[in-house]
């Protein structure tokens, strides 16, 4: 059996295959490459059971100048977000005001956006959950960001509690949390994560069939599961 090679330049195929994996397998694959941090710390699912998977569209906020006069909207960038993207919002992890609500979720769903990750707070969680929109954040509050924060820039590198996300990095978020996969490594991370997934599936099947866990782990290469290049041997060699 020959394992499919990682896609090169095929965003649709990359998205399809990444979306079949969970963040645990992807994290193990990143660990095997000894890459910089991939986890987006403190990010929690607000719509359990959903998946966000796509290239990052980054958004950075800054506090409103206290001397500013007149109404200041939080931002009108959503119409520029390409379908399939994951919006990554950086408001410094603030718990004092929101950067996403049900109106943005509705527009994002309509435009085919894959999901949103907010380093900060969101609101209208019940509405986003009812709509099934993949939403992840540091915190939740009812307090509006209007007249509190303003858009700084889009399409720039953002810092999510020590993890840098660049525009175009792949973001995958599920019930475990959220992580980023550098765009340049996405194909190799995918290949290794698929191998991790196969290895763990074989171990699970063997144990359910009566094997001891320690024996199954040794047999199927649990210590280096990403090395399952050809579909895996069943003799542990």
> Residues in the chain, how many?
237
Dist. CA 152–CA 168, nearest whole Å: 19
208 is in an annotated binding site: no
Q: Which pLDDT value is given to residue 9?
A: 57
Residues 26, 199 contacting (CB under 8 angstroms)? no
102 is in an annotated binding site: yes
Taking each helix axis as running N to C, give the angle between helix 186-208 and helix 11-18, from 0 to 180 degrees, rounded to the nearest 10. 30
**Per-residue pLDDT for the chain (237 aa), expressed as one digit of tens each?**
334 455 555 788 999 999 999 999 999 999 999 887 799 999 999 999 999 999 999 999 998 877 767 677 767 899 999 999 999 999 999 999 999 999 999 999 999 999 999 999 999 999 999 999 999 999 999 999 988 999 999 999 999 999 999 999 999 999 999 999 999 999 999 999 999 999 989 999 999 999 899 988 888 877 787 786 655 444 433
Residues 15, 113 contacting (CB under 8 angstroms)? no
* Structure tokens belonging to residue 176: 């475990």
185 is in an annotated binding site: no
Q: Which pLDDT value is given to residue 98?
A: 95
Dist. CA 70–CA 85, nearest whole Å: 32
Q: Which pLDDT value is given to residue 225?
A: 78
17 is in an annotated binding site: no
Dist. CA 103–CA 107, nearest whole Å: 6
219 is in an annotated binding site: no
103 is in an annotated binding site: yes
For residue 173, what are the contacts with CB-CB under 8 A and spacing of at least 6? 23, 40, 43, 45, 51, 52, 53, 86, 115, 117, 134, 136, 179
> Nearest CA to 154 among 88, 64, 71?
88
For β-strands 86-90 and 52-63, DSSP reports them as parallel
CA distances from 196 to 36, 118, 127, 173, 227 (A): 19, 28, 36, 18, 8
């Amino acid at each position: 059996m020959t394992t499919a090679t990682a896609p090169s330049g095929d965003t649709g195929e990359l998205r399809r295959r990444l979306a079949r994996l969970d963040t645990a397998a992807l994290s193990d694959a990143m660990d095997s490459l000894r890459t910089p941090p991939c986890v987006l710390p403190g990010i929690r699912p607000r719509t359990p059971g959903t998946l966000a998977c796509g290239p990052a569209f980054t958004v950075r906020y800054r506090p409103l100048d206290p001397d500013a006069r007149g109404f200041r909207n939080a931002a009108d960038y959503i119409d520029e977000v390409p379908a399939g993207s994951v919006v990554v919002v950086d408001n410094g992890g603030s718990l004092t005001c929101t950067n996403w609500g049900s109106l943005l979720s509705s527009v994002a769903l309509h435009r085919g956006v894959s999901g949103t990750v907010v380093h900060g707070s969101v609101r209208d969680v019940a509405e986003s959950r009812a709509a099934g929109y993949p939403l992840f954040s540091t915190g939740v509050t009812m307090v509006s960001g209007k007249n509190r924060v303003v858009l700084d820039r889009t399409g720039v590198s953002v810092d999510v509690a020590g993890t840098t996300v660049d525009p175009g990095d792949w973001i995958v978020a599920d019930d475990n949390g959220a992580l980023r996969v550098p765009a340049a490594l996405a194909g190799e991370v995918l290949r290794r994560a698929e191998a991790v997934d196969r290895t763990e599936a074989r171990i699970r099947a063997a144990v359910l069939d009566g094997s001891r866990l320690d024996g199954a782990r040794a047999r199927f290469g649990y210590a280096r599961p990403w090395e399952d290049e050809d579909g895996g041997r069943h003799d542990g060699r």
